[in-house]
Amino acid sequence: EVQLVESGGGLVQPGGSLRLSCAASGFTFSSYWMTWVRQAPGKGLEWVANIQPDGSEEYYVDSVKGRFTISRDNAKNSLFLQMNSLRAEDTAVYYCATQSNYRIDYWGQGTLVTVSS
Amino acid sequence: QSALTQPASVSGSPGQSITISCTGTSSDVGAYNYVSWYQQHPGKAPKLMIYDVSNRPSGVSNRFSGSKSGNTASLTISGLQAEDESDYYCSSYTSSSTLWVFGGGTKLTVL
């Protein structure tokens, strides 16, 4: 059974940093593209970033480019999202998810990031 | 403003069929057969219901079906059941720098 467990969310001041983690199990992590999707409170879904299976390529939504960095540790079946220069509009539940071909299939339960002073 | 346009809400009675539309552009829905649909119950993670326009993942009821015409994709739920009451989101791969775009979501109410 695919399991994705996010952690690292919390309250941070504007301009601050946070590192999200996602522990994966139940599938061959090193073979899958992985992605982060976020959902602001009461709002829709927004794709944030994804990373190739070997970590050699990363892609980001324009609004986080230069501030967020996605990475992975295939030896530890873990996905990360380093978030710097956080803004109020980054407040959201952040979901870790697997990506197969051109679909985002399995999702974690999410971790809430709140950016507020 | 979401990239893909969905109706904010739809409703139907048990046993009926409903259709949710998802309108994009020639850069996303119209360009690729990579439209997915997700079901999200309150406080829960999204669940993949349809991928590649019309394919169902294993375990998803055949009451759920998808289609596409031009720049508009559709999700149809037949034989509505109370447990179908949820939020539904469409998504598409896109040729823009934002690789995936989502719709704003549609709240389905089973009357």
Residue-wise pLDDT tens digits, A62-103: 999 999 999 999 999 999 999 999 999 999 999 999 999 889
Mean pLDDT of A48-60: 95
The residue-averaged pLDDT of A28-47 equals 95
The pLDDT of residue B56: 97
Q: A58: exposed, middle or buried (C-beta count within 10 Å: 0-12, 13-18, 19+)? A: middle
Neighbouring CB atoms inside 10 A of A5's CB total: 13
Tell me what pLDDT residue B1 has.
63
Query: By percentage, how much of chain A surpasses pLDDT 90?
Result: 97
- Closest by alpha carbon to B54, among B101, B86, B24, B22? B22
Return the pLDDT at B99.
86
Question: B18: how many CB neighbours lie within 10 A of its CB?
Answer: 19
Tokens of A28: 């061959």
Q: For residue A47, give the nearest of B47, B51, B102 by CB distance.
A: B102
Q: How far, in Å, CA of A87 to CA of A67, rounded?
A: 10
Please give the Cα distance from B90 to A49 (Å, whole number): 18
Smallest Cα–Cα separation from A54: which of A75, A26, A81, A83? A75
Establish if B9 touches chain A: CB-CB under 8 angstroms. no
Q: How far apart are CA A84 and CA B86, in angstroms?
A: 34
Q: Is the CB of A112 inside 8 Å of chain B's CB atoms?
A: no
Q: Is the pLDDT assigned to residue A29 strictly greater than 80?
A: yes
In chain B, the residue whose alpha carbon lies closest to the alpha carbon of A104 is B48
Mean pLDDT value across chain A: 96
- Quick one: what percent of chain A has pLDDT higher than 70? 100
Find the CB nearest A44 among B48, B98, B102. B102
Residues of chain B with pLDDT under 50: none
The string of pLDDT tens digits covering residues B11-37 is 999 999 999 999 999 999 999 999 999
